[in-house]
Amino acid sequence: MAQSTRAFVGPVIHSLSAAELEILPSALLVINDKGEIAAFVRNANPQQTRDTLISLKFSPDLVTVHRLAAGQILIPGFVDTHNHAPQWAQRGLGQGMHILDWLDAITFPNEARFNDSGHARRIYASCVDGFLRQGITTASYYGSIHGEATKILANLCLEKGQRALVGKCNMTRNAPEYYRDASVGESLRVTEDCIAHIRSLGAGKLVQHVLTPRFAISCDPEVLQGLGAIARNNPDLPIQTHFNEAEQEMKATMELFPQFTNEADLYEHYGLLGNRSILAHCCYMTEYEMERLKALDCGVAHCPISNMTVGGGFMAAPIRDFMRRGIKVGLGTDSGGGFSSSILDAMRQAMIASHAREVTSKGHDKGLSIDEVFYLATLGGAQVCGLDETVGNFEVGKAFDAVVVGTLGAEQGIMTMVEENDGLKTVFKKFIMTGDDRNIVNVYVQGRAVKGN
């Protein structure tokens, strides 16, 4: 059913670029019946909303006006560029383990349970609800190896209204016999079946399939080759995998593929690197690999919490260097590998990691600012997922994926209290550094309310 035209009036904050945060004390956004931003007035007089709508050629009597309450701010929805949906129920387990040991002991036994459709439906419903509750309007999900469970995840994202990339995970080797694809042919067949199912949902841009080789270690060369062929034949499909995550993983990869000296050449050889690629972690990068990622327009999913809690070291990825080179970067919660499903926590940890990187680089890579990590969590993440023409900020024509943040009274939660003389930028900083899901009052995806009224 089509939505009515609505207008939102009040403080708006969004990123225009990594270097420019726009802070508007009183703006007006008009959302059409398709859930798209039809007009954006940056300096709107809230007492003259009716006249403003008329000047924009909207009939005021046909527009529902939402006035933000005192202390509320409208921001874009958060984008999670890297998440393992089956790991929703294992968050916090295996902290401090090396990555391959963690997979064998914790993750593979857990993900194998998703061969049970009832189990998949229960965990995935909680997962999608949990992310929407925290203002994550877009997520790039790794599913399990199971086709039916992957379809269930896609169905739930559409039903609950989350914008999502959903991928069946490809694994044919170096995993327990109970948790791997039966064969190369079966792995590719189930992948194509999932692609067809997600397309059949008619979800448009809301839910898409993403090709998902877990990493080269778990894929026979023929699987990588087959996925590369699917990618070539389906230029609309994004691709995601893990890339240079941990030294143990990198060493194992090169032993399995001795014809390559780095992961960039490996994935490029199989047709899996390009402007649709979402590369998780990228903690250890050579100059050559940096150049290839930039030349191929790949995106990096930075997961600072899991990088420092699972993997075998304090892995502070070179995010400042990526940004300086113009490589696309967004944030991922990777909440199975880490301990938090909150993008707010990922923003804070990204700042901590960047400050550590500043020390180890002897000041060459400066730490990230609040404005920059907010960009990574919104517009930057949208760019990584290939969705920046659709979401990420409030440009006219984009979908209205948005969060109403509350900072006063019952909506304050444990956030640093707002004082009488605090300007809008100060309130914003307090929310980013100390807020949580209790401050997330309303969440909208494509104009649809998915949290709150």
pLDDT digit string (tens) for 150-200?
Answer: 999 999 999 999 999 999 999 999 999 999 999 999 999 999 999 999 999
pTM of the model: 0.97
Give the gyration radius of the chain's Cα atoms.
Answer: 22
Query: Which CATH fold topology does 6-76+394-451 show?
Result: Urease, subunit C; domain 1 (2.30.40)
- β-partners of residue 167 are 142
Residue with tokens 């309310």: 449
CA-CA distances (angstroms) from residue 420 to 70, 424, 427, 435?
12, 11, 11, 18
For the chain, the 3-state helix, strand and coil shares in percent, each to the nearest 5, are 40, 25, 35
pLDDT digit string (tens) for 168-178?
Answer: 999 999 999 99
Whether domain 78-385 has CATH 3.40.50.10860: the reply is no
Alpha carbons 300 and 241: distance in angstroms, whole number = 10
Burial of 409 (0-12, 13-18, 19+ CB in 10 A): exposed
Alpha carbons 126 and 292: distance in angstroms, whole number = 38
Phi then psi for residue 259, to 5 deg, are -75, -10
Q: Reduce the DSSP state of residue 231 to 3 states and report it.
A: helix
CA-CA distances (angstroms) from residue 104 to 175, 215, 248, 251, 280?
8, 15, 14, 17, 20
Return the amino acid letter for 64: T
pLDDT digit string (tens) for 115-153?
Answer: 999 999 999 999 999 999 999 999 999 999 999 999 999
The pLDDT of residue 1 is: 42
Q: Where are the domains of the chain?
A: 6-76+394-451, 78-385
